Structure 1
Amino acid sequence: MPQPEVTPRSDATGALPDAMRAWRVTQLGEPAEALALDTVPMPAPAAGEVLVKVAAVAANFPDVLLCRGEYQVKPALPFSPGIEFVGTVAALGDGVDGSAVGERVVGSKIGVLSEYAVLPASDVWTAPSSLSDAEAAGLTVAYQTAWFGLHRRAALQVGEWLLVHAAAGGVGLAAVQLGVAAGARVIGVVGSEAKAAVAREAGAEIVLVRGVDDLVSGVKAATGGHGADVVFDPVGGAAFDASTKCIAFEGRIVVVGFAGGTIPSVPAGHVLVKNYSVVGLHWGMYPGLRPDLIDTARRELTRLADGGAIHPVVDHVVPFERAPEALTALASGTTVGRVVIEVGS
């Protein structure tokens, strides 16, 4: 049933302000130098859009790349980073069906590191009631990326060996938890012993420490020589190269990103001889091309969250006024799980 018309200049608590605060990239560089806290006019939702009062934003590595001008999407300066959030619907544009003022939602769109954000109604969904704001803020990008990588691209099966690189990071922990929920046997690769404990707690059966353990021999030993049936790789570079040496017959390497800074070349001859697949995952294409699969992923993630099978790990929370610190911490590679920026209540 269509929603009754709602004026876009009011919310559940009364009239909206005329202006809001937003972090904006005013010059390209590291987050601490690139970002400025500005006061900007309050946006209003157009037809098919919702206005959301942002409660929390999860920092993502693409936010760092946006600040540097190294992301595949390059908005014109000045612009707001931030790509996923939790908040409350404050107003509806014309023709919106299925959203209601006051509903707690999560969603994703570049530009949400602000007190309010406007985005298409199709880009938000009801936040699982089992998760706090800090936890829910990091549910959309990391967990949908992991879900599509494991289930849509790799067709992960019960009992298969899953190798997850950067297993203590935001998307890596999501892949570990979803792999365990799917009945896979998970091997995690992390950067330190401290991070190893986090990966084990998330359900990794075996954890290898980069620079300490030999990845190839470790995977072969853990799997009795079988190798990894599925590799989830958001790192690239040496991690990808090592994966090609311990991939199982008919294994699948899912290329998710290149956080290590090096984009590897695919060894086509080796792919042929060892009979494995290298598949890419660009989650951002699915909302536009296969929204039906996005709906499926959302339902499944909500079910798993409410059932306790997945639980976003929060490293720490910073207040809105210190948002650049969150991106700097993320870029350092020392955090585990998500760093969350608390915007408002």
Structure 2
Amino acid sequence: MKEQLFTRAMVREFGDIRDILRLESCPLPELPAGKVRVKMAFATINPSDIITLSGAYRSRIALPFVPGFEGVGSVSESRDPQLPVGTRVLPVGSMGAWQNVKESEPQWCFTVPDFVSDRQAATSYVNPMTALLMLKEELDFAPGMRIIINAANSAIGRTLIRMASQMGLAPIAIVRRAENTGLFAADRTERVLNSSDGGYPQALAELKASGGVAAILDCIGGEESLQLAEVLTPGGQFIHYGLLSGRPIPATFWRSRPDIRFSNFHLRMWVHSHEKARVQQRIDEVMAMISDGIIATEIAAEFPLEQIQLAAAAVLSGELKGKILLRL
């Protein structure tokens, strides 16, 4: 019997994604008891993947490893009766999406409905799930409340804007470039602010004078966090979920506003601390929003796994607007 082979992108040292990724062809091992094997269809390359490969989290990641936190596929071999062959799933809970097949624990395989395409399903976890959970699990929700969302032109920022509008919130979008202020014409936003505009400080002061905002969803950090904190109502909520500035929130943030209810949100931490049924319920909500047209991920390009170096270069260039998929 001919030996079955599969291809994977392997990382054996940390560094620049363009230098350290190596494609390997390997024999397919026997599937252990209690596990499933997923034939991957698509995977994404997210900024978090590139950060992971750089070694930023090396203290908790062992080499070697196959990168990729997000992707979709179908069960091709199963040792679990609850996940028969052919079931479409998101195999999450660990890295390893950048390969033809991924071995997974059944509890980390979440089913995907037929009405969502592979491409949208492949991009439904990291950004849409994070957005949904912050709004429905982390935010102290009240209809009509004003919230600030910075980096609103990013993939997750636009998803947050659309979800917040759908939920009856009043989102205020903050972008860094004038050309991005028009991105929200079809969305229900209270205001769109350009943080590089000379009138930005005055706009924030006007927001504060008009009652402030009840919550801020921040993925930038640094001095911007300190600046936005001044607009929060007394006892307002500050949800921090990213550090695009590369700079931590200054210590003066807490000294100037000790009343703020501050929290860090991590998708992985939430998913790993809840039962599978609860996680599946939230994934189903994301899928329904995709089906209803409330949210959708713009796909900028697709590359076969064999061209992963080209895909990585496209991500790093920043020239393509939208997600870049690996076709597996």
| TM-score interval for Structure 1 and Structure 2 normalised by the shorter chain | 0.7 to 0.9
Provide the C-alpha distance between the structure 2 equivalents of 1:336 and 1:219, rounded to a whole number of angstroms: 28
* TM-score of the aligned structures, taking structure 2 as reference length: 0.87
Q: Which moved more, 1:79-88 or 1:222-231?
A: 222-231
1:313 aligns with 2:298: yes
1:225 alignment partner in structure 2: 210
- Is this contact kept in 2: 1:254–1:278, CA < 8 A? yes
Give the Cα separation in 2 of the matches to 1:326 and 1:195.
Answer: 25
Counterpart check, 1:103 vs 2:90:
no
For 1:75, which of 49, 55, 61 is the aligned residue?
61
* Contact 1:142 1:170 (8 Å CA) reproduced: yes
Once the two structures are TM-superposed, the CA of residue 336 in structure 1 deviates from its matched residue by 4.0
Q: TM-score, normalised on structure 1? A: 0.83
What's 1:30 paired with?
A: 16
For 1:77, give the aligned amino acid. Answer: L
Residues 317, 254 of structure 1: CA spacing in aligned structure 2 closer, same or farther, 3 A cutoff? Answer: same
Tell whether the 8 Å contact from 2:208 to 2:230 is kept in structure 1 after alignment. Answer: no
SS at the partner of 1:298?
helix
CA distance in 1, matches of 2:31, 2:201: 52
CA pair 91-329 structure 1, distance change in 2 beyond 3 A = same
Distance 2:300 2:206 in 1: 31
The alpha-carbon deviation at position 190 of structure 1 amounts to 2.6
Measure how far apart 1:332 and its partner are: 4.9
* 2:105 aligned with 1:120: yes
SS at match of 1:211: coil
Shift of 1:76: 3.0
Question: Equivalent pairs: percent with the same residue?
Answer: 22
Residue type at the aligned position of 1:240 = S
Q: State the distance in 2 between where 1:223 and 1:235 align.
A: 20
- How is 1:4-83 mapped onto 2 (pairs within 5 angstroms)? 18-71=4-57, 74-83=60-69
Distance, in Å, in 2 between the alignment partners of 1:128 and 1:156 is 28
Q: Is the 8 A contact 1:44 1:118 kept in 2?
A: no
Alpha-carbon spacing, 1:307–1:79, altered in 2? closer, same or farther (3 Å): same
Contact 1:35–1:67 (Cα < 8 Å) also in 2: no
Aligned AA (1:52): V
1:278 to 255, 258, 262: 262
CA RMSD of aligned residues (A): 2.7
Query: Aligned-pair distance for 1:118?
Result: 1.2
Q: Point out the more displaced range, 156-165 or 39-48.
A: 39-48
Aligned with 1:175: secondary structure?
Answer: helix
C-alpha spacing 1:149/1:222, structure 2 compared with 1 (3 Å): same
Matched residue, 1:182: 167
- Whether the aligned pair in 1 keeps the contact of 2:124 and 2:287 (CA below 8 Å) is no
Instruction: Count matched residues.
Output: 325
Name structure 1 gaps, 5 residues minimum: 1-14
Query: Residues 36 and 293 (structure 1 numbering): CA distance in 2 closer, same or farther, change over 3 Å?
Result: same
Partner amino acid, structure 1, of 2:172:
I
Distance 1:253 1:116 in 2: 40
Using the TM superposition, give the Cα deviation of residue 204 of structure 1 relative to its aligned residue in structure 2, in angstroms. Answer: 4.0
Deviation at 1:334, TM superposition (A): 5.2
- Give per-residue Cα distances to partners, 1:81-127, cap 9 Å, x unaligned: 1101011111112xx24322112222323111111111222222222
